[in-house]
Amino acid sequence: MKPLGEPEIRKSFVNCSKGEAKGLTLPARAVEIPWPELEFLGWRDPKAASRAYVVLWHEDEVVGLSLRAADQPTSRLKSGMCGFCGTVHGLADLSLFSSRRAGQSGKDGNTLGTYLCANLQCCRYLRGKLQPDAIQPAEHLTVDERIARMETKLHRFVTQVLETR
């Protein structure tokens, strides 16, 4: 993805207060982030474990989403799949994230939820830079095809968060 600077990242958030955006902890200094290997920047706030952030280019604009991780899933399933990258994880490595919708809808308490890689490192899983613990289903897609599929899901999610009417 096209590189971003810290002020751009902080200004991008569509579903949290200016105070939260200003106070959140970035994953690294912007110059240290490997932008060409990312479709989105995703991270857990190192100082607030339940908080997570996703920042990406969406229709030529930078959009940042503030997410909340639920406590460990109460599902009876033993594993599940990330809603972005499709990586299968045991429940310890999967989190249910909720995103407040943008605008008044979010202020009224409307959220969207999805299971995602708990560390939000989807881009690294897809490139084989991180290995999931769980066994993956056999799939005959190239890395590029998997990335394209993730981008479709990502943008669909962002579109839903931004839909305020």
Q: Which spans of this chain sit near Zn ion (rule: CB under 5 A)?
A: 82, 84-85, 87, 117, 122
> Which of 84, 157 has the CB closer to Zn ion?
84
Q: Which residues pair with 98 in a beta bridge?
A: 68, 113
Beta carbon of residue 42, minimum distance to Zn ion (angstroms, whole number): 8
Beta carbon of residue 77, minimum distance to Zn ion (angstroms, whole number): 16
The DSSP H or E segment spanning 80 is strand 79-81
Contact assessment for residue 67 and residue 51, using Cβ atoms and an 8 Å cutoff = yes
Beta carbon of residue 126, minimum distance to Zn ion (angstroms, whole number): 8
How many Å apart are CA 57 and CA 64, to the nearest integer? 9
How many residues comprise the chain? 165
Identify which of 45, 86, 42, 33 has the alpha carbon closest to the alpha carbon of residue 65.
42
> Which of 70, 104 has the CB closer to Zn ion?
70
> Which of 62, 150 has the CB closer to Zn ion?
150
> Which of 103, 147 has the CB closer to Zn ion?
147
How many Å apart are CA 64 and CA 107, to the nearest integer? 17
Beta carbon of residue 118, minimum distance to Zn ion (angstroms, whole number): 9
